[in-house]
Every structure is written in C-alpha cells, then in structure tokens.
Structure 1
Amino acid sequence: MYSTLGRKKARNLARDPRISLTLYDRENPYRSVEIRGTAELLPDPVKALPRELSQRYLGEDPPAEPADVVRLIVRITAEKVVAISL
C-alpha cells in the first residue's frame, strides 16, 4: 500500500499507526481476510513501488507525477489475521 506525504491517510497513520485492512473475494463476497496491525511509513524517493505495481498489473509505467510529490510506502506488521469463508 502507498500514499503521499500530506494526505489525510498518511497524517492519520503517523499520529496513530493502528491499521486494519480487509480483502474480499470478487467471486464470493462472503469470503474475506482481515489483517489488523501497525503501519510504518517509509519514504519512496524514487517512486519504485507505484512503478512496480503498474508494470505488474498494467504492463506500463504509471502517469508522471510532479517531482515535489513525496511517495510513502505503508508497511503493515500484522498482529492478527482473520479469514472468513462461508
């Protein structure tokens, strides 16, 4: 996951690093996994993560951003994982 410096998500995580992430199965919305833990904000000065994700899923580079945009990688350390499958 990533964000940019100054966005509300980044400000909130810097203030309170507790985080919860839920992923749902597209074909079965009753199947999901929830990850609870803490977030760490890491600078990504060369903007490698957006480029890597765009190449992997779209096969192309992401649109250019202004040089003054500071990208942050949100690294989650899981403390609890709950899987639901009905």
Structure 2
Amino acid sequence: MSVKIRLARGGAKKKPFYQVVVADERFPRDGRFIEQLGQYDPRQNPSMVTLKEDKTLEWLNKGAQPTDTVRRLLRTQGVWAKFKQA
C-alpha cells in the first residue's frame, strides 16, 4: 500500500477549497482517506494553510509521499525543513 499526502477538493464550482489528507494512492482524489492533516484555501489573499504539524511529520517519517503541490505547501509552512533535519 503506497500512501500519499495530497489534496482533496471541496467547495462549490469555481470556489475550490482543499483538505490535506493522507490516502492510499489507489483511492479517488475526493474519496476515502486515512487521516485529515489540514486545510488549504487558495481563494484567500494570502492563501490560508493550516496543518497539524505533528501528525504531518509523523506520516512523513512513516514514508508517506507528498504530491508536488503538498510539498510546496509544506515548504511554505516550514514543515518540510523540519522533516529534512530529522
């Protein structure tokens, strides 16, 4: 089972809102997930990102692979640097 940290889309048409989730890569984008790690709202200026830092680091240490977009969000929040230091 390959586990990914990725975005699950929510919100209305033309008004996206995303949840940062841990999911098996075989599951649909907006389908079943293992755990919710945070939220991302790109419509706010600046974009709102909230993450459960301890849970995110825990999943990264377990081997979960973030998608490119999630990796960028982790870098802006400083979580990626903490993961690389450990």
Bigger share in strand: 1
Q: TM-score, normalised by structure 1?
A: 0.23
Structure label with greater radius of gyration: 1
Higher helix share goes to which structure? 2
Which one scores higher on RCO, CA 8 angstroms, separation ≥ 6? 1
TM-score by length of 2: 0.23
